[in-house]
Every structure is written in structure tokens, then in C-alpha cells.
Amino acid sequence: MTDKISLTYPRTLYPAPPFPDQPQPAPGLAQKMDPAPDHGEQSYRGSGKLVGRKALVTGGDSGIGRAAAIAFAREGADVAISYLPDEETDAKEVLALIEAEGRKALALPGDIKDEAWCCELVAKTVAALGGVDILVINAARQQFREKIEDLSTDDFDQTMKTNLYALHWIAQAAVAHMPAGSAVITTASIQAYDPSPILLDYATTKAGIVAYTKALSKQLIERGIRANVVAPGPIWTVLQPSGGQPDEKVKNFGKDSDFGRPGQPVELAPVFVLLASKEASFINGEVYGVTGGKGVA
């Protein structure tokens, strides 16, 4: 007897635009989004792929980082999440979900634009979890500016420090603690390959993340550590309504994907799990696009 397979038409699997107006001040809270993003709270099921592993995820309070943190815990890993203090209410939900799986959860509120904090959050992770062997550098700043004249030096500096400097500081601090078999995963974007005119600084950093990670992968593989990139397309996260896109673009976010909708954070979770797991033992320096059909080349 053959078991019946349940399949779902992917274009209608999740909500499609138009979405309600929902501007928020940065950094924003996922709790206030309508419709609520799916980070895997109810939908992700683990299968023991990361039992005994120790993960650090930046930007783990919401969006893609939250989905990765939930998935890692359900696959058996202990998880530390870093986030801004203003994101505490979202972070508490994630920490509770990690602990509900019987895993250790570590809260790391702070600003990764500060080099000293980047070093400290790694040290705190190692002390609390007993090490680190999965590093997800995901936290990002995205604030649209219509014209180059509107993109101030302070804007440019904040985006660079959040998206690129912190990547370097955290990776530099973490690799000394990471044994052979560990994995580094960074979050880039389709913006690295098809940049939007209103995201000059953000797109620049995302291209930099791809180049940095590819170069880093060549260094770290000598130590037995793999480094790869996940490059999302339009994903329904709080980054968008909190200044990442104009209100009208948020209302129609993801409409021009092949699916007619944005992706949900949970739809990236299996890619992060794969790249973190021993099943990806021959994958290094790669860019995995999850773009809704837009591609990354």
C-alpha cells in the first residue's frame, strides 16, 4: 500500500499582496506585522540533524534569523541570539521557543555596530553554551533613500557597520573557538546581484557579504570550517515596514516574484539547517538563492 503524499500549490501557500499599511519605526517588531510572518513557530518540524550543536545567530529575534534559531533548536542545537534591546519583546518569544525544545537559549541584547560588543557576545556564547560550532551572521540594517543626495554619511556608516563591519568582527572573534566540522553562514540578498536604486548602501553591503564569505571560505576550509551564503529575495520580515521599503512597496511586497507573494522566513530555514549540518560536508563558498524565482546570477 502506498502512503498518500500531501502536496500544496506553492503560490497560495502563504499570504499574497496587497497587504495593509503598517509603517513602524526602525528596528520594528514582528509582533506588529499584518499578516504575521511565519518563522516556523508552528510549521517547522525537526529531525535531529543538529543534535548537540551550539549555534550563535545574530538578528535572531525576528525574520530570517528567528526562523534559523527556531529550526536549529528543533534539530537539537543550543542557540544564542543577538538582537537590539528595542527588540526584546520579539526576542523573548524566540528564547521561549528554544527552551520549549529542551535546548539552552542565550539572550544577547546589544548593538553590533560596537566592535567590543561583537567580541563580547561571542565570548558570552562560548561561556554559556560551552562552545560555538554554527555561526549565522544575519543581522542587517536596511533603510531606503530615494536619491543619492538623501543618503547621509551617518546612514552609510550605520549600514556599513551593521552589515559588514560586524560581520568581520564577529567572525574574527568566533573562528578561534570553532572546531573542525563547524559552519559559518552569512545572509546576503538578491540585492547583491540586482540592486534596487533606493537601496544603494544596503545593496553595496550585500555584495560585500558575498565576496567576504567566498574569500573567508577559502581561508577557513584549511581549518575544516565551511562558510556559505544564503541570498534571499523578497521575504516577509519586519525589515520591510520599518523603513526598509516605502509604504506602497510594502503593500505590494513580493507581488513581482514568480509566486506572486513574498517568501516567509520559515521557507529559508531548511537551507540554513542544511548548511549547518554534516550533510553539507562538501559545500563551501557557495551562494544559495531563495529568491522566489529571481535567481542570483
Catalytic option among 83, 202, 212, 288: 202
Q: Alpha-carbon distance 129 to 142, whole Å?
A: 31
48: alpha, beta or left? (left if phi > 0; alpha if psi -120 to 50): left
Interstrand relation of 78-83 and 105-109 (parallel, antiparallel or unpaired): parallel
Interstrand relation of 54-58 and 183-187 (parallel, antiparallel or unpaired): unpaired
67 to 3, 21, 184, 272: CA distances (angstroms): 30, 24, 16, 9
CA nearest 57: which of 127, 142, 121?
Answer: 121
202 a catalytic residue: yes
Spatial contact of 22 and 252, defined as CB atoms under 8 Å apart: no
Cite the active site residues.
202
